[in-house]
Amino acid sequence: MKTRKIGPFDVSAVGLGCMNLSHAYGVPPPRPVAAAVLHAALEQGITLFDTAALYGFGANEALVGEVLATHRERIVLTSKCGMHGVNGQRVIDGRPDTIRSSVEASLTRLRTDVIDVLYLHRLDPAVPVEDSVGAMAQLVQQGKARALGLSEVSAATLRRAHAVHPIAAVQSEYSLWTRNPEIAALQACRELGTAFVAFSPLGRGFLGGKLRSVQGLEPKDIRRAMPRFAPEHFAANLPLLDAFDQEAASLGCTAATLAVAWLLHQGDDIVPIPGTARPEHVRDLALAPRLPLDAATLRRLDALINPRTVHGARYNAATQAEIDTEEF
């Protein structure tokens, strides 16, 4: 596995997003299957594992902590604060006292004394980012975090936060069909020496090539509230997937491998963190750094799937109001 840099860390060029082992896409896989996904990632040379206090309202951190505790020295462990569950409800809270107590709980669940990269999961509009990052910087000074990151923030917010404490990574959605980071965030990261960690590089599963109908999505699957997965938009997007599958077939790889490889070709400072709930799919993700894409292939992919050809917004209005990223 090739490596890339996040702050002081050398990490596998592809990490593992652990969210869907406990959260978001309907009923999570049974614990033995979730553990098998984590072990498969280790076997494929993946060293970057990403979780959050929010995922499963602590259940994902507990899973990652239990399964990976004995491998702690060989992995880079990241988690997020500032958004968590309160009485069964998702709450954004960037107040310093909340951040401190949340991280203490995360450390316990993760079975570690330090989080390698601690992200602010969402910007709290009621709290200046300087206050939230200031509290996180104190945790670095106390040895409870090694580096800091931000999630779903604008270039302006990144610069404000970076003035308080160096920001090692910005994490936002980035894929062929979500190009928002190309507006300003990627450039700001490059100016500041901040790595860009791309979540949902498979387009919430769309670019994996297996999802051909939204009728079977489980009632609690968060994609049911995403406009791109509304039946009319999804049907309009399916021809893009057919052409994308043909590109993957011509290269002798799966659609998932191609989607992640495209991201890796957007810059050496980009680290995708795809997720999966099936151990057998981990190898497809880990193969992406070894897939060369020539300039002609990259041009075809860019022309095929981009903001002009994709139907539907990535978030509904309520969720869109909670994020700080630039929009087309």
- Rounded to whole angstroms, the Cα distance separating 162 from 155 reads 10
Could you tell me if residue 137 is inside a domain?
yes
Q: Percent of the chain beyond pLDDT 70?
A: 100
Residue 252: pLDDT over 90: yes
| pLDDT tens track for 134-165 | 999 999 999 999 999 999 999 999 999 999 99
Beta carbons of 243 and 258 less than 8 angstroms apart: no
pLDDT reported for residue 304: 98
Q: Give the distance from CA 219 to its chain's centroid.
A: 23
pLDDT reported for residue 297: 98
The predicted model gives 45-57 an average pLDDT of 97
Residue 87: pLDDT over 90: no
pLDDT reported for residue 206: 96
Q: Indicate the number of domains in the chain.
A: 1
- The CATH number covering residue 156 comes to 3.20.20.100
**Packing angle, helices 185-192 and 155-164, rounded to 10:** 30
Q: Any long-range contacts for 189-192 (C-beta under 8 Å, 24+ apart)?
A: 189/158, 189/269, 190/267, 190/269, 192/158, 192/159, 192/162, 192/167
What is the rounded average pLDDT for all residues in the chain? 97
Could you tell me if residue 298 is inside a domain?
no
Catalytically annotated residue among 25, 55, 119, 315:
55
The predicted model gives 214-230 an average pLDDT of 95
| pLDDT tens track for 181-197 | 999 999 999 999 999 99
Distances (CA, A) of 224 to 31, 125, 179, 316: 24, 26, 21, 10
Could you tell me if residue 3 is inside a domain?
no
Residue 69: pLDDT over 90: yes
Residue 231: pLDDT over 90: yes
The predicted model gives 211-235 an average pLDDT of 95
Residue 88: pLDDT over 90: no
Could you tell me if residue 28 is inside a domain?
yes
Residue 271: pLDDT over 90: yes
- Rounded to whole angstroms, the Cα distance separating 41 from 39 reads 5
Beta carbons of 314 and 227 less than 8 angstroms apart: yes
End-to-end Cα distance, the chain: 34
Domain coverage including residue 36: 10-203+264-290
Could you tell me if residue 323 is inside a domain?
no
The predicted model gives 6-23 an average pLDDT of 97
The predicted model gives 97-116 an average pLDDT of 98
pLDDT reported for residue 243: 96
Report residue 227 as tokens: 């406009």
pLDDT reported for residue 94: 98
Beta carbons of 70 and 116 less than 8 angstroms apart: no
Could you tell me if residue 70 is inside a domain?
yes
pLDDT band at 128 (very low <50, low <70, confident <90, very high): very high
Could you tell me if residue 188 is inside a domain?
yes
> Is 25 a residue of the active site?
no
Could you tell me if residue 46 is inside a domain?
yes
